[in-house]
Structure 1
């Protein structure tokens, strides 16, 4: 049996025993989409597969820098930080090729929070949205495209430099470069092989426009599996890079001199009863079925309210400026890369919607949950999309209702005040997540930036 053949707790334990593993690595995602985990002894692993794992609920109560939120109800000093329960998910088991053991590679298993914490668990949220899709008669499929910059730096060197004057992995702008990928073929090969081994295969990999920037398109899968693959991809690309003395960043925009880094979401639905595409209708313009039209209308209408789930950091909004391949309004068009939603015409197999608003720093569970839940709402309500955009959306004016929040603070406020978000995701999640984004914004506003110093120090 191989790691990706595991379906049950018994399978997972049997493989750990067959490989003579003394320990297994397990992890859950926090609110920011960062994997948090630990090693478990084989004996402890066996007991947690049956009875669950206890993990301090601070994992849902701190930010990406391990600073404690001071404005959430679920966890905090007022709760004395008790344990939260985590269920391990045997079907997510993977080989961990970086950590060979005596009888074979270390095993890596994902989990999700259960009990009270399940209400705000990012993975649990997406699972509930997928259950809604199945109840409506659909299976949801998705693929994510990630742009990320590579640097000839280490965690120590970037800190020593104060994150200034960083050396990119390669110089200059050279999109789709055969030269760059050939010169660095060893790293590309290792990345592709790693993604195959860990079952997060890359469908396409190339340089993007900018020094040291790559784009990887993950192969389509069921949406829940895609979210797992996305969070593993973001984590282990960083691991591989650092093992080569390099660094990879998925922050939305690391320099004002270059375009931001996106995390584009491709989505489609299939009818459960006969596996036909719910989005493709050859008799309609652009092959767009009624269900796809309503789905796109749902994503479009709710995008301003859900923006905090697609763009979760202060830095995310630095990407959303005119002329940098990022949409500014909740617009849609056919094969139009200046709109927030891109209808991709195709066939029963390929007809889909691309949600282009997402940034690379987004938690994939939350971004996928927002897009899928919004689209399903559009189908249920029978909503119609606004007029299709033709040409450059950046130079056109749109109704105020389509304007997207342009700061994290505004986005958090819109989410908190959304009755639809509360109905789709639950008040516990909305209040907790909105509070964490408000916290993130407050941390930023406490600091003085280099831009402010250069602009105001002498002149004002």
Structure 2
């Protein structure tokens, strides 16, 4: 349920839009100015939609200084209270041209387009999100993990109890339900799960959570990051998507099947009379078919590829399997109305709108073409002979550049500019010599 501004004690509204990198940008407006913006929008130079993470502007952007404005149009249904700031709310916005047509670089608009295409085919998508992140504390030696605990350690929950409560309260005030929070596998690493919803609301929730997490953690004297791999140890932050398609009334899960047709290593629930449908298999087939190109959007930073390696429970083999965490796609053992596909490639640096749009578009392509996913694996896919994900951002971008289905779904211009921004990032990385390289080579050659 959205916030009703006329009955709420709100003085300021943060009008937010998301750039291609997934960075929240926008402006804070007095209440009266926001009310005007709901009719007219707020203008920005359209070139800022292509900012790099440096930050800076591309040498050859689509929108240069001569290109005029874009408009950020608030989606009033997404107005949320910002509980950690007094009398403040936040609203998510869509980007348009001055004439009102959708801006081709609006990632939120692209996700809306893909959802509309699914609905035209008779499907209603739902998505649940697992968000992992690293919590750090400043010491004399620099930033270090918040604790020394590991997987599901309850002492780690006690250590972060006040933070947990503040995170939950902030999300609840904004209308998002946190379904669980726990210590992840590495020191200082936590996971917060957000209840499933429609994909647009889920993606808005990721952006809200990212913004909230940083702000609230600072108030506790801590730093939170969703960098995919902030340390050289095994700490790696994923953002898994749990996806299902329902009928138009959202009463029947189209991924569910009455026959038991999968072999789960530790059993399934219900134990008998449940499996996955042909639609689910075709959806899996589409994801696998486009997985190398999807990786560029779901693992969109240089650092992302230090997560996608065997041995740290992150995906690297392009395979699928029942309750199998060594694959890019896992089928959880809860079936029937809970039947879903877990997409394990996305990490916490994603633009959630683009990653969700690309994933759903790839799955829909599989359904339309009845793409056979092949047989699932019940073995350790790291040790099997499967194709692997690209090992670098540059390699993934080459696959995205050639993927006509994703280009069509996301828009040719958006994909082109996304690739420009990410190749600029990779080039800047290549121009930086790390301490590891000096330690490895300086005295040897």
TM over 0.5: yes
Encode CA deviations 1:238-271: one digit per residue, 9 max, x unaligned.
1111111100111110112123111111100001
Give the equivalent residue in structure 2 for 1:283: 259
Aligned to 1:429: 414
The 1-side partners of 2:420 and 2:2 are apart by 40
Give me the TM-score of the superposition, normalised by structure 2: 0.93
Kept after mapping to 1: 8 A contact 2:50/2:417: no
CA deviation after TM superposition for structure 1 residue 329, in Å: 2.5
Q: Select 1:106's aligned residue among 73, 88, 93.
A: 88
Which of residues 376, 380, 386 is equivalent to 1:392? 380
Q: 1:94 maps to which residue?
A: 80
Q: Which moved more, 1:448-457 or 1:41-50?
A: 41-50
DSSP-derived class of the 1:230 partner: helix
Say if 2:370 is the partner of 1:382.
yes
Paired residue secondary structure (1:268)? strand
Match of residue 50, structure 2, among 52, 61, 65: 61
Q: CA deviation at 1:117?
A: 6.1
Residues of 1 paired with 2:74 and 2:122: CA distance? 28
Of 430, 435, 439, the residue aligned with 1:450 is 435
CA distance in 2 between partners of 1:358 and 1:189 (Å): 26
Q: Partner of 2:162 in structure 1?
A: 186
Corresponding residue for residue 297 of structure 1: 285
How much does 1:23 deviate?
A: 3.0
User: Which residue is 1:25 aligned to?
Assistant: 14
**Aligned residues of 1:71 and 1:436 also touching (Cα < 8 A):** no
The answer as to whether partners of 2:228 and 2:303 remain within 8 angstroms in 1 is yes
Matching residue within 302, 307, 332 for 1:314: 302
Q: How far is 1:66 from its partner?
A: 2.1
- Secondary structure in 2 aligned to 1:147? strand
Contact 2:321 2:377 in 1 (8 A): yes
Q: What residue is the counterpart of 2:318 in the other structure?
A: 330
Q: Does the Cα contact within 8 Å between 2:127 and 2:241 map onto a contact in 1?
A: yes
| 1:407 corresponding residue in structure 2 | 392
1:256, 1:109 → 2: CA distance? 37
- Tell me, yes or no, if the aligned pair for 2:130 and 2:239 is still in contact at 8 Å: yes
Q: How does 1:208-357 map to 2 (within 5 A)?
A: 208-273=184-249, 275-286=251-262, 287-357=275-345
Superimposed CA distance per residue, residues 152-185 of structure 1 (whole angstroms, 9 cap, x where no aligned partner): 13xxx8xxx8xx75221112x4211111212332
- Rounded to whole Å, the distance in 2 between the matches of 1:232 and 1:450 is 35
> Does the Cα contact within 8 Å between 1:36 and 1:59 map onto a contact in 2?
no
What is the CA RMSD across the aligned residues, in angstroms?
Answer: 1.7
Give the TM-score, by structure 1 length.
0.90
SS in 2 for 1:44: helix
Which runs of 5 or more residues in structure 2 are unaligned?
263-274
**1:416/1:430 contact within 8 Å kept:** yes
1:255 match: secondary structure: coil
User: Conserved in 2, the CA contact under 8 Å of 1:330 and 1:339?
Assistant: yes
Q: State the Cα distance separating 1:284 from its structure 2 match.
A: 4.5
Q: Which residue of 1 aligns with 2:272?
A: none
Whether contact under 8 Å (1:27, 1:110) holds in the other structure is yes
Give the Cα–Cα distance (whole angstroms) in 2 for the partners of residues 383 and 301 of structure 1.
8
The counterpart of 2:68, out of the listed 54, 70, 82, is 82
Judge which range, 246-255 or 64-73, deviates more: 64-73
Give how far 1:58 is off: 3.2
- Structure 2 residue corresponding to 1:169, chosen from 142, 146, 164: 146
> Is contact 2:238-2:348 (8 Å) kept?
yes
Q: For 1:40, what is the secondary structure of its paired residue? A: strand
Which has more helix, going by share of residues?
1
Aligned equivalents of 1:273, 1:189: Cα separation in 2: 35
Matched, 1:149 2:134: yes
How many residue pairs get aligned? The number is: 430
> Partners of 1:321 and 1:389 in 2: how far apart?
19
Which deviations, in whole Å up to 9, do the C-alpha atoms of 1:410-457 show, x marking residues without a partner? Answer: 111211122222222221111111111111111111111111111111
